[in-house]
Structure 1
């Protein structure tokens, strides 16, 4: 998905303005949860999200959607990751 289409989908889904987030390479965040729903477009790099026993890799152009209060862990690729995210 491209940035324009993603931004339009956020607006349609009621997300406020998106922000760009950058994470350093090869960092792992242990299991945690957020009090907000997140929908993000990977702009550069790689992000792995594990929910339960399932891990999924996201690369440039991929979108991930994580419900509020969903336990998960995160791992950032060898080049880190930059993503555009809407939170509500």
Structure 2
């Protein structure tokens, strides 16, 4: 699988109304308890592994996997032993 470049990811996100695009990197074994965000998010995992729990369902995500979370939706995040990096577009 060939991943888009960061510039390609950002350009596509902006065509869908996302106004902020950034790279997030997480340290190994980081766990974020239930929280929410005041923005819609669309992301692409580019390195490592993470587990995203939303609505009682947990998904394991790795390079090439995408996920979306609507604003104010409670979720948990857990990152693998090598940490993880994803690109995220936010609609504020």
Tell me whether the two structures share a fold, i.e. TM-score over 0.5: yes
Q: Does 2:8 match 1:3? A: no
4+ runs deviating over 6 angstroms: none
Superposed counterparts of 1:36-55, under 5 Å: 36-55=39-58
Tell me if the contact between 1:3 and 1:41 (Cα under 8 Å) persists in the aligned partners: no
User: Once the two structures are superposed, what CA deviation does each residue of 1:58-85 show, in whole Å capped at 9, x if it has no partner?
Assistant: 1001111100000000000111001111
Q: Across the two proteins, how many residue pairs are aligned to each other?
A: 88
- RMSD over aligned Cα atoms: 1.5
- Structure 2 stretches lacking a partner, 5+ long: none
TM-score by length of 1: 0.89
TM-score by length of 2: 0.86
| Alignment match of 2:18 (pick from 15, 20, 27) | 15
